[in-house]
Structure 1
């Protein structure tokens, strides 16, 4: 039976209770006790804006429960409208918490729908306001105030005496709450690759010369202009998160909890562990820290596909090749511009021997679709991707689909929209298993060209197969990293020995600008001294030379 606290918010964070008492484990062994975990997620924010966040957290819950831990999952609602979340993983206790702030989900949905099919630059404010990102952040920050006034929940949390907490990447409020109720250890969970503000907070270096901001659509090899944008972008993004999240929420803690409450930015910088939904085998190589644990692909099984049924089986049986096309749960394909719809259908008609499976929720195209196109409101995506006839996946580049594509060893055509999707598209190209199409370039010709290249150039499928084999042969699986590091952090607490001293340095010290200025000044002064000395020597020798010339007797002409 669900426990309903009056108010609680935050997107995607876990709080974990563990009964300490560990033994040394061999690689084959598991914990000899049952640890108790509490996992909290905001239902609507993550379900619509970042469905991958909800799914990723469910997979983490399930993995911990399967390892023998007692997991409690709290689902939190923020908007007035409620939605059905994913089914609770087996072995996980689910509680429901109402944290509605009165915000309109319809407003958020409308703002996002209007912006998805438009192209924005990195510095265009519409990239953030139009997509609903700023609205989401404002809603979450406002909900923090409700949380801090919910004394019943806070006291319950304190009484439970949790040993470890997970908190989601977008929020700082639970970090303060963890500190307030004295939970001894916590993990900062990223449902995407390592976010820039998380990296900056915990001291991971962000050299803009080859580590661009996540929302920037470039590879790690950049032109001068791209490096300039990367440099400026990192600077702007480093200001955005403190101004929109940590500072307002710190003020709330000082208002409702303690006037001397620590700055949430300082608390976040000392995160014992950071767990990231990424994998070094399919990410851009970059600087990192020992505390950053890659658990990408967790819960993505490498099992053989189940047999297709119904209309999917019939269509697959008749076709020579299969292509799967979906923009996931975030992008409503029915709201594509008419020019896009016509371009896709016309392009698909150029490949009569290929069966296209398209996730599409409306019937407005039923009289226009070619014979080789099957529209469905739902697709057995994993089964289709692993089907032996499948040759490509057309996707928006969301991280769930990105990982499922790699686990199936299939090449991809990526049309990114926002967030980490442009980065993922660049990554697919760099790794050799994908082709990117910009939103502004969607047309019949570009689609046909990309399909011909991905279907008939073997290098893409070869690269995808190689990556699949590397992932499956990885020495330590993500599930083991999650369980073992979580237990380790719960046993040893804050893990101060993993905190880099760099978080204590100011901008000038961190970048050694004072040292650089000193060396430039020293070398400049040294050069001036050498030049001055040289000039003095030249003058002395020139005077001596003139004197010697003047002292020589003149020879009279006969």
Structure 2
């Protein structure tokens, strides 16, 4: 029988355990998103929303001028703001300009455009990390983890300023400055790992392997220099003279890669690199009433979904007429995400919308094909729902994504800059009437769905794992800390070469000595005979 004092003891103990358990179940998460590429923000925000549902407090750092927009998108988030003096808006303008001419720009012109943005990116990051009031507020909040995108590694600088002990997580599809490759020490053999932005597969010809080697050699050299030019000055200014952006990013505990084993080609991974491709795919919701009626009106012919993503919604008048003419010839209904003046050749079967519920449409039983720019989020949704694809890649990783679609048999690829109405019409008909595309799409969907954890659950589990243990330093490869000559075993090679040289020299000296002795005795023996 419990006494009063014993009862109070067990009650207080139970209450303490309960409170501690509640405290451990949630943590403070800080997101430092990019000032451009809205699709990256959408992916990051979806992960943040999943963390909110798990009881975490999620805070995002955004410029003052977009605060209301972000609050409307994610009312469950907390926000910290800073004044960016218009740098974010200017970067968005450059981004829009780049999208409009991406297919006509050479690699050199693209690099020059990226170089021209350096000053605004540097200033934008400087405004963020130089806001002392903001940094002090972030320090007081005691965040359990900071999440950033390596394309905008300013988040790593923020984490170092808050507290170098705060765990750091990177979420990425591509690594513009190749900080991750050095930070993880992962080997990427160019013999079968195609460069991210080129349309090679993992089965390259001899000429393609030559090109791939050159890309893996030259591109990292140029963009690493660009990253240093953009961020190293800020690192020296706010952290220390001996640090660089590479050393700051190398503190990252976990790398969440938006890649997938079904769609992407196999490549080496380190223990602190986790694949979360398809993290954007959600359960299918009902369509709005008007859109559902339009989809149902397609009868047995079905629906074609057309979208070029969140950042490329308006086509040139000439291109929009080409697309409209191709769609008008189809028996299927077409739902097209399009902003701007309607093309004059728009068919009665085509519905244009400023925004469309892409995931819900692709998951609808009447959807037959997806016409897209081959953005990775859209391709993951199409693969998950088993929908064949017609790709018209524009820029960035999209040509590589389209190459993966073709290699896997999920769809076909067209050249956006030269496509005609007839070519687009024939491509759509081809994926609709060729059963191999439907069968492959269904098979890839089954493969992608057959995972121990859905990608979002996996991402959340790993983030919580980092928060729970205060970092995952035991997963970091020693390669990160090795000097380059040790990583490539040049010191070992030099030692072995020296040993081999010494042994060969000793052997040569011994042979020379033995030959001299032998020759000497031969002369003595020859003289005695005479």
Segments of structure 1 that go 5 or more residues without pairing to the other structure are 1-20, 24-28, 545-558
Change (3 A) 1:54 1:487: same
What is the deviation of 1:260? 3.4
Change (3 A) 1:299 1:369: closer
What is the deviation of 1:374? 2.5
SS of corresponding position for 1:180: helix
Aligned length: 497
Change (3 A) 1:274 1:258: closer
What is the deviation of 1:113? 4.1
- Are 1:309 and 2:289 matched, yes or no? yes
Give per-residue Cα distances to partners, 1:218-273, cap 9 Å, x unaligned: 11221222222222222223223432224542323323x35535222123223111
What is the distance in 2 between the residues matched to 1:522 and 1:443?
A: 66
- Are 1:488 and 2:465 matched, yes or no? yes
- Structure 1 residues 286-295 or 181-190, which shifts more? 181-190
Change (3 A) 1:396 1:522: farther
* Contact 2:305–2:336 under 8 Å retained in 1: yes
Q: TM-score, with normalisation over the residues of structure 2?
A: 0.82
- Structure 1 residues 263-272 or 58-67, which shifts more? 263-272
What is the deviation of 1:55? 0.6
1:251 to 222, 227, 233: 233
SS of corresponding position for 1:439: coil
* Contact 1:296–1:478 under 8 Å retained in 2: yes
1:70 to 57, 68, 76: 57
Aligned to 2:340: 362
2:307 to 323, 326, 334: 326
Aligned to 1:499: 476
* Contact 1:76–1:96 under 8 Å retained in 2: yes
- Are 1:393 and 2:370 matched, yes or no? yes
Segments of structure 2 that go 5 or more residues without pairing to the other structure are 1-15, 523-530
Q: Which has the higher helix share?
A: 2
Aligned to 2:383: 406
1:35 to 3, 27, 42: 27
* Contact 1:405–1:411 under 8 Å retained in 2: yes
What is the distance in 2 between the residues matched to 1:451 and 1:474?
A: 31
Q: How does 1:330-479 map to 2 (within 5 A)?
A: 330-335=311-316, 338=318, 340-351=319-330, 353-365=331-343, 367-479=344-456
What is the deviation of 1:358? 1.6
Give per-residue Cα distances to partners, 1:106-143, cap 9 Å, x unaligned: 741553244134263xxx2123345xx44444422222
What is the deviation of 1:193? 5.2
Aligned to 1:11: none
What is the distance in 2 between the residues matched to 1:33 and 1:388?
A: 39
Change (3 A) 1:330 1:435: same
- Are 1:159 and 2:145 matched, yes or no? no
Change (3 A) 1:415 1:526: farther
* Contact 2:58–2:77 under 8 Å retained in 1: yes
Give per-residue Cα distances to partners, 1:420-478, cap 9 Å, x unaligned: 11111111112221211123441234323322221111111222222222232311222
Q: TM-score, with normalisation over the residues of structure 1?
A: 0.78
* Contact 1:197–1:238 under 8 Å retained in 2: no
CA RMSD of aligned residues (A): 3.6
Aligned to 2:84: 99
Change (3 A) 1:390 1:521: farther
What is the distance in 1 between the residues matched to 2:274 and 2:322?
A: 42
